[in-house]
Amino acid sequence: MTKTQYYCAATLDGYIADSDDGIDWLTGFQSGYDGPGEKVLDAINSYIDGVGALVMGSSTYEYILSHDWPYGDRPSWVLTSRELPDTEGADIRFHNGPVAEIHPEMVAAAGDRDLWVVGGGPVASDLVDAGLLDELQVTIVPIVLGSGKPLFSRPIGSGMSLQGTRTFANGMVELRFSLAT
């Protein structure tokens, strides 16, 4: 069964990007941790192998556009009210409206794999509000920004249930939660 999963990294104080939508705090992370754990890149690649479709907000999409498109031809939805450029070789679908309207289409496109909520907080919050987010998998990076773009854009009224943890060789820790319904 396809799960809708918000899979991301966040700072220790709960931000997924700095105030300018940057993630240098993540890409430039250097750790002094010298302990057991798997490699983060191996975990990311394994996760992406299980993804059949993606959904993201326009800021996330614009950030990815400034790099090489890493998701191949997986169906990818971008929630936006603006006109944005397409990505050659990618299956990009733009939507201006509630994410709940297109959720069945996204799940169908994912097939027997999962729907990945790439980012950001407003998209994840909209899915929570509609009762459509199944899991949160957040890798905590031991960095404190003090401000930025939050993991969720508004409070979540229901609790989450911890399903597991994982320690990475660089000192990051993944927390996996299911959302209570």
| Percentage with pLDDT > 90 across the chain | 82
- Classified as helix, coil or strand, 1 is coil
- Angstrom distance (rounded) from CA 173 to CA 151: 16
pLDDT digits (tens, 9 = 90+) for 15-30: 999 999 899 999 999 8
Residue 56 near residue 121 (C-beta atoms within 8 A): no
Q: pLDDT > 70: what percent of the chain?
A: 99
pTM here?
Answer: 0.94
* pLDDT tens-digit readout, 61-117: 999 988 889 999 999 999 999 999 999 889 999 999 999 999 999 999 999 999 999
Task: Dig out the tokens for 124 from the structure.
Answer: 């994840």
Is the pLDDT at 156 greater than 80, yes or no? yes
Using DSSP bridges, classify how beta strands 114-119 and 91-95 pair: parallel, antiparallel or unpaired: unpaired
What CATH number should be reported for the domain whose range is 4-13+46-171? 3.40.430.10
pLDDT score for 66: 86
Distance separating alpha carbons of residues 62 and 42, to the nearest angstrom: 25
Q: What is the pLDDT of residue 112?
A: 96
Q: Which residue has the higher pLDDT, 30 or 14?
A: 14
**Residue 94: predicted pLDDT:** 97
Question: In the block, which residue shows the tokens 């929630």?
Answer: 79
Label each residue of 71-133 as H, E or C. Answer: CCCCEEEEECCCCCCCCCCCEEEEECCCHHHHHHHHHHHHCCCEEEEEECHHHHHHHHHCCCC
pLDDT of residue 35: 80
